[in-house]
Structure 1
Amino acid sequence: DFARGPKYGDAAHIIVSQQRFIATMQGRTATFSTFSDAHFDEATFEGQLTGDRMSLTNVWHWILKLKARFLSGSYAEALAAADKAKPLLSAVALMLELLDYFYYTALTVAACYENASADDQSKWRDLLTAHREQLREWAENNPPTFADKHALVSAEISRLERRDADAMRLYEDAIRSAREHGFVQNEGLAHELAARFYASRGFKTIAHAYLRNAKSCYLRWGAEGKVRQLEEIHPQLREDHAPPSPTATFGATVEQLDIGAVVKASQAISGEIVLDRLIETLMTIALEHAGAERGLLILLRGDTLLIEAEAQTDHKTVEVKLRQSTVTPAELPESILHTVIRTRQSVILDDASTQNPFSADEYIRQKRARSILCLPLMKQAKLVGTLYLENNLAPHVFTPARLAVLNLLSSQAAISLENTRLYRDLQEREAKIRRLVDSNVIGIVMTDFEGRILEANDAFLEMTGFDREDLASGRIRWTEMTPAEWSDVSQRAVAQLRAAGSCEPFEKEYFRKDGSRVPVLVGAAAFEGRDEGVSYVLDLTERKRAQEALQKAEAELAHVTRVTTVGALTAAIAHEIKQPIAATVTNASAGMHWLSAQPPDLEEARQAFGRIIRDGNRAAEVIGRIRSLVKKMPPRREPLDINQVVLEVSAMIQGELQRNRVQLQTQLARDLPEVLGDRVQLQQMILNLILNAVEAMSGVADRPRELVVGSGASDSDVFVEVRDSGPGLDATNLGRLFDSFYTTKPNGMGMGLSISRSIVEAHGGRLVATQNVPHGAVFRFTLPTGGREVSTSSSSAAEQRSANASR
């Protein structure tokens, strides 16, 4: 009923398909060749499996129908179901239902092959080969799960190819593998097909033996409908009362049981999906059908055995107490429990008061129990838990008929317990997701790939300015909310979702309802089997504002750094400007003198005035270089001669070098290729490196203060090195040298080298520092030549920082 709600319609259809398959196998449908009964119409149900249903819902039903019709011998219907399932297989690409499709389609084709037309046989030969190869690949990777299926399909192909010796061996391989790994239904099917093979070859006695084994397996599987079909086709099976096989745990036949009571009990157990109610139902039914006075349900939680429930009866009512406690010798005979867990077989003591293998158990001695039964709860080959029952009043309480009922019910109980666990996990996950959605910490929106918005939480609606009415109307579509320049990014994300089921988080913008834009970070995952998915949307508005504020602060800091640097050069700049001004005054006086002569010496005056013009231009150049460094300008990339940039900076700092008694040598390589860069940024960086070197050598008194600025080329880069003879670098802090705000200067801000590295990286280059030999440090930066593009992925952040540095 829960699954039939508006949110889980597809899940309800899947559950119904499974229930109808089980009902068919148990013989509770109108015939063994239909899912229909008095309360269910197969054709009506299949009419609802339209294209707007989840592909998973539809393919699950058709594969179950393929399986059921093959087992009933309705091969034409099985083939039709396989054809309907085939185009939908991507929905079960990672599920075991895909195995059932390959397995039962191959077996159905093999069953029909000999009576088919030549065209069908030609087509089916390719199909059988392809399906066998797929099963072989799976079997090589996981033999316990797939080996018996591969062996049985291979046996059928050998039968068709008249390779009888191979077929006999492969049928036995399939039977053995299925038995060893707990696939009792597949063991029964392998016996049945082997019987059909031997009968076709005239070995009636051998065929009958295989049929008896097939019936025994189907009985243990609980497939009473399949057993009745076998007995109708082979009446001699009704006369057989073969003893149970070594792995059987009951001795009563289906005919000895109250089928109606068993079916009712099984339905009651399978109908519960809430764990507590399932446990109460299971324990009540177990005590009522077994004649027990007391019972314990013990389940495996990881590697720990826990008593989940205790039931007791006063012969009128059954009282079930839910609990979770560890197993102790005071609760039950531990030796019996451990035997059941180890062997995966039931243990029954008709009279525990008589001598038996467990007589020494402390519980049996103290409680004086009479009838004891402990059953394993198995789901395929997996132990889920155990059911312990006892009656302290009478011996021989657990008769073969009661034991048969309990074994049938225990199989259903194991399945239901596992299903309730899965359902509980699903509820917990759904609750966590719902809390995440309702917490509105982040925007969450469910969409399809075509643009529809199916559901969204309040955070997403508030972020985009829409409301619930807009959402319900279907007027908002994520494709229309996406600006044109972001469409390619969104479509690439959709392609990733289709291919991989998820996409890498990406930035984009949405149009808000009022036409404004909101920057967002989007991550998404697709729903399996559907062209729909869920997206997690983070509003980046505040982050963008913070980034802009940070960029503005960085720009101001870079500007301050340049102004501070120029301030430190005040004396040198004054010297640079004073020289041409003094020369201008001298030449002006000389010019006046030559003009005052009699007669005036015009040639000398002309030369004096030429020198005035030269010195004026020289002063203007100095002032221009200072202005370009100090004022805020947007970055401008242009082809540059790096040597010329070095010489411009060298000319600017001549006075500073003389004042600090530093000898400058330039070792500039000739004919270097041009670099693409911003002249002001590169000047700022080189100036900073040279001034750092000058300051580092200020305390050197025992050797010359030598500064070498060199350039050169390597591969497709040009490089510039600044070498000094100062005290060198502290090796312990070398890794922090370019960190913001790290400085070794008493009055330093720690931004110069950080900004310098940002400038270099924005130009696609690298800045490194090493020790000079024998004294000092070397700062070397490389820049790509003008013909090589800068990688945007590696330098975009630095590009922004360096752009700020120019403002």
Structure 2
Amino acid sequence: QEEALAYELAAKFYLARGMEEFAQLYMLKAHYSYICWGAKAKVKDLEQKYPQFFTKRSAIPPKTTTTTSSTDSKTSAEFDLTSVIKASQTLSGEIMLETLLGKMMKLVIENAGAQTGYLILEKNGQWVIEASGTIASDEVQILHSVPIETVSGSSDTPMVANAIVNYVVRTQESVVLNDATHEGNFTRAPYILRQQPKSVLCAPLINQGKLIGILYLENNLTTGAFTPDRLEVLNVLSSQAAISIENAKLYAEVRESEAKLMQFLEALPVGVSVHDATGRVSYANPTSDRLMGKGVISEATPEQLSQVYQVYIEGTEQLYPTEQLPTLRALKGESVTVEDIEVHQEGKIVPLEVRSIPVCDDQGNIIYAINAFQDITERKQAQKVLADYNRTLEQQVQERTLELKKEIVERKRAEEAANVANHAKSTFLANMSHELRSPLNAILGFSQLMSRTPTLTPEDKENLRIIARSGEHLLTLINQVLDLSKIEAGRITLNATSFDLYQLLDDLEDMFQLKADNKQLQLLFELAPNVPRYMQTDEVKLR
């Protein structure tokens, strides 16, 4: 009862949207279901309300180009509705493409009155033959995308009439040739001339206005093989075939995508697990199995996850709290990352980084939690090494800081001692200068007085000059000693003047001659000829 009502509602739905092919298909299914139910009044009601769906149709939509012959053929008033609906249901229940193609070719050839049949689909922009069958064999050949131009066997003739197929592709109109070699627009086509087929049917399979495929049928025994009744049957089957092929293709694409996704997940070096809304594990990739030490245990409840998989808080023997597990937090809407999880395997502890995110349906309800986790043993070891190094470095810095503090204290003490010594030195030099200047000034004074004596011999005068020069030189030395403090402070300056170098050397000779005479030594001064007489420098400091 529910099935009949569902078919009727589906038919009304498609009819309201102008999709009469689908509406007819589901209305026929509803009609058959009401017959099986015994609802005769409902059957009659459908036939009265929708007579267009229960009368013979002479063509396959959307348009049909038909060439008739004078061959007399007898057709039945009504086709076997029950058989057609069963055949349609057979197609609608199949989602595996190859199986669908096999069943479809059998049903089409049996119900359309064809000897041979081909199913042509589009692949990568090219129309190719995917399946073929004959009335003489129960087996359908799945040809796996043979181009329609491919020749058949040892002959040089294609398997189908390309001109007719291309016409149907271009116009999306059906072509029915009751006598292909004598009537119609394709009598001069190379295929028709060579193969001499009698009856040809080429029909588009259309779903929601899109060309899905093409049925190509031939009967080489009789003309007018494709009668209106058989065309009506083929019309119903074609509508369902277009839907089923599209669904099977989509299913194949989904399976291919799933297979690729599984390959990616299987190859990932990161563990991936999926938990349903109750927290139970529904999928885990091989890396996950290896990291967790075991595979999917679907019967484990959320409260048992930590115990079953031996999940502990890092560095402890405490099981990870259930409410803090990343999976359960994700199922509450959080996107979470943790690094404080350890899995205890036999003789081995594996630290993990776990990232968990919720997955929602179209209504925003959380239906899954996905975990991605990886072994971070090396990271933890590196962090430990870094922490140890930081502690060592910090200790070394502290020790070095103490050493620097000690050095600063010692340097300060040394500076203070040096300042004391410098002060003492300055005091000493000042005192020494005073003590030396007093007798030296007396000597210089007396030498000046003695030089004024008129009775002095030339030798005495020379000796007095030597005494005066030596005294003045000694006084200069005393001044230079006092300049040491200026030198240490970096404040000493040079007073460069031009002076007589030869005179300086003569004075030095006079000074050292007395010492040489006292020690009975012979003093010789030799002046190189290239020594200049005058120089530009500080004469006082040079002396």
TM range (shorter): 0.5 to 0.7
Alignment correspondent of 1:541: 376
Q: For residue 359 of structure 2, what is the amino acid of its counterpart?
A: A
Kindly indicate whether the alpha-carbon contact (under 8 Å) linking 2:62 and 2:172 is maintained by their aligned counterparts in 1.
no
Alpha-carbon offset, residue 258 of structure 1? 1.0
Relative to structure 1, the CA distance from residue 271 to residue 68 in structure 2 (aligned partners, 3 Å threshold; closer, same or farther) is closer
Distance in 1, Cα, partners of 2:121 & 2:112: 20
Distance in 1, Cα, partners of 2:133 & 2:174: 20
Give the TM-score normalised by structure 1.
Answer: 0.40
Kindly indicate whether the alpha-carbon contact (under 8 Å) linking 1:509 and 1:517 is maintained by their aligned counterparts in 2.
no
User: 2:95 is paired with a residue of what secondary structure?
Assistant: coil
User: 1:35 is paired with a residue of what secondary structure?
Assistant: helix
Structure 2 residue corresponding to 1:332, chosen from 160, 174, 192 = 160
Q: For residue 91 of structure 2, what is the amino acid of its counterpart?
A: I
Alignment correspondent of 1:186: 17
Structure 1, unaligned stretches of length 5 or more?
1-30, 37-64, 74-103, 105-182, 189-213, 498-502, 595-657, 659-807
Alignment correspondent of 1:261: 83
Distance in 1, Cα, partners of 2:341 & 2:44: 68
Relative to structure 1, the CA distance from residue 543 to residue 341 in structure 2 (aligned partners, 3 Å threshold; closer, same or farther) is farther
Kindly indicate whether the alpha-carbon contact (under 8 Å) linking 1:466 and 1:512 is maintained by their aligned counterparts in 2.
no
Structure 1 residue corresponding to 2:414, chosen from 581, 589, 608 = 581
Distance in 2, Cα, partners of 1:346 & 1:184: 23
Structure 2 residue corresponding to 1:348, chosen from 176, 193, 199 = 176
User: 1:429 is paired with a residue of what secondary structure?
Assistant: helix
Identity level (%): 23
Relative to structure 1, the CA distance from residue 236 to residue 444 in structure 2 (aligned partners, 3 Å threshold; closer, same or farther) is closer
Distance in 2, Cα, partners of 1:585 & 1:430: 87
Counterpart check, 1:512 vs 2:317: no
Q: Which residues of 2 match residues 77-92 of structure 1 at below 5 A?
A: none
Question: RMSD between aligned alpha carbons?
Answer: 5.1
Kindly indicate whether the alpha-carbon contact (under 8 Å) linking 1:452 and 1:478 is maintained by their aligned counterparts in 2.
no
Alpha-carbon offset, residue 377 of structure 1? 1.3
Alpha-carbon offset, residue 335 of structure 1? 2.7
Q: Which residues of 2 match residues 626-645 of structure 1 at below 5 A?
A: none
User: How big is each residue's C-alpha offset from its partner over 1:622-676, in whole Å with a ceiling of 9 and x where there is no partner?
Assistant: xxxxxxxxxxxxxxxxxxxxxxxxxxxxxxxxxxxx9xxxxxxxxxxxxxxxxxx
Q: For residue 120 of structure 2, what is the amino acid of its counterpart?
A: I
Distance in 1, Cα, partners of 2:24 & 2:259: 41
Kindly indicate whether the alpha-carbon contact (under 8 Å) linking 1:369 and 1:390 is maintained by their aligned counterparts in 2.
yes
| Greater relative CO (CA pairs within 8 A, separation 6+) | 2
Alignment correspondent of 2:535: none
Kindly indicate whether the alpha-carbon contact (under 8 Å) linking 2:178 and 2:225 is maintained by their aligned counterparts in 1.
yes
Relative to structure 1, the CA distance from residue 253 to residue 224 in structure 2 (aligned partners, 3 Å threshold; closer, same or farther) is farther
Relative to structure 1, the CA distance from residue 432 to residue 577 in structure 2 (aligned partners, 3 Å threshold; closer, same or farther) is same
Give the TM-score normalised by structure 2.
Answer: 0.57
Alpha-carbon offset, residue 379 of structure 1? 2.0
Alignment correspondent of 2:3: 35
Q: Mean alpha-carbon deviation: is it higher for 430-439 or for 552-561?
A: 552-561
Kindly indicate whether the alpha-carbon contact (under 8 Å) linking 2:291 and 2:350 is maintained by their aligned counterparts in 1.
no
Distance in 1, Cα, partners of 2:224 & 2:417: 130
User: How big is each residue's C-alpha offset from its partner over 1:493-513, in whole Å with a ceiling of 9 and x where there is no partner?
Assistant: 44557xxxxx5x734443535
Relative to structure 1, the CA distance from residue 256 to residue 307 in structure 2 (aligned partners, 3 Å threshold; closer, same or farther) is same
Kindly indicate whether the alpha-carbon contact (under 8 Å) linking 1:72 and 1:226 is maintained by their aligned counterparts in 2.
no
Q: Which residues of 2 match residues 546-561 of structure 1 at below 5 A?
A: 547-548=382-383, 551=386
Q: For residue 544 of structure 1, what is the amino acid of its counterpart?
A: R
Counterpart check, 1:287 vs 2:143: no
Structure 2 residue corresponding to 1:276, chosen from 98, 103, 107 = 98
User: 2:304 is paired with a residue of what secondary structure?
Assistant: coil
User: How big is each residue's C-alpha offset from its partner over 1:353-374, in whole Å with a ceiling of 9 and x where there is no partner?
Assistant: 1232223322222222221111
Distance in 1, Cα, partners of 2:49 & 2:256: 52
Alignment correspondent of 1:232: 45
Q: Which residues of 2 match residues 377-416 of structure 1 at below 5 A?
A: 377-416=205-244
Distance in 2, Cα, partners of 1:255 & 1:416: 29
Relative to structure 1, the CA distance from residue 416 to residue 69 in structure 2 (aligned partners, 3 Å threshold; closer, same or farther) is closer
Distance in 2, Cα, partners of 1:278 & 1:585: 108
User: 2:226 is paired with a residue of what secondary structure?
Assistant: coil
Distance in 1, Cα, partners of 2:306 & 2:77: 63
Q: For residue 227 of structure 2, what is the amino acid of its counterpart?
A: T
Alignment correspondent of 1:20: none
Q: For residue 114 of structure 2, what is the amino acid of its counterpart?
A: A
User: 2:3 is paired with a residue of what secondary structure?
Assistant: coil
Distance in 1, Cα, partners of 2:58 & 2:416: 123
Q: For residue 3 of structure 2, what is the amino acid of its counterpart?
A: F
Alpha-carbon offset, residue 476 of structure 1? 2.5
Alpha-carbon offset, residue 583 of structure 1? 2.9
Alignment correspondent of 1:323: 144
Kindly indicate whether the alpha-carbon contact (under 8 Å) linking 1:333 and 1:364 is maintained by their aligned counterparts in 2.
yes
The structure in which a higher percent of residues are helix is 1
Alpha-carbon offset, residue 550 of structure 1? 7.4
User: How big is each residue's C-alpha offset from its partner over 1:499-537, in whole Å with a ceiling of 9 and x where there is no partner?
Assistant: xxxx5x734443535797833132545264774325242
Distance in 2, Cα, partners of 1:343 & 1:245: 15
User: 1:510 is paired with a residue of what secondary structure?
Assistant: strand
Kindly indicate whether the alpha-carbon contact (under 8 Å) linking 1:287 and 1:294 is maintained by their aligned counterparts in 2.
yes
User: 1:346 is paired with a residue of what secondary structure?
Assistant: strand
Distance in 2, Cα, partners of 1:558 & 1:374: 86
Structure number with larger C-alpha Rg: 2
Structure 2 residue corresponding to 1:370, chosen from 193, 198, 213 = 198
Distance in 2, Cα, partners of 1:245 & 1:184: 19
Alpha-carbon offset, residue 385 of structure 1? 0.8
Q: Mean alpha-carbon deviation: is it higher for 444-453 or for 239-248?
A: 239-248
Kindly indicate whether the alpha-carbon contact (under 8 Å) linking 2:120 and 2:129 is maintained by their aligned counterparts in 1.
yes
Q: For residue 393 of structure 1, what is the amino acid of its counterpart?
A: L
User: 2:114 is paired with a residue of what secondary structure?
Assistant: coil
Structure 1 residue corresponding to 2:276, chosen from 448, 456, 469 = 448
Kindly indicate whether the alpha-carbon contact (under 8 Å) linking 1:451 and 1:478 is maintained by their aligned counterparts in 2.
no
User: How big is each residue's C-alpha offset from its partner over 1:29-83, in whole Å with a ceiling of 9 and x where there is no partner?
Assistant: xx5xx328xxxxxxxxxxxxxxxxxxxxxxxxxxxx7x6575799xxxxxxxxxx
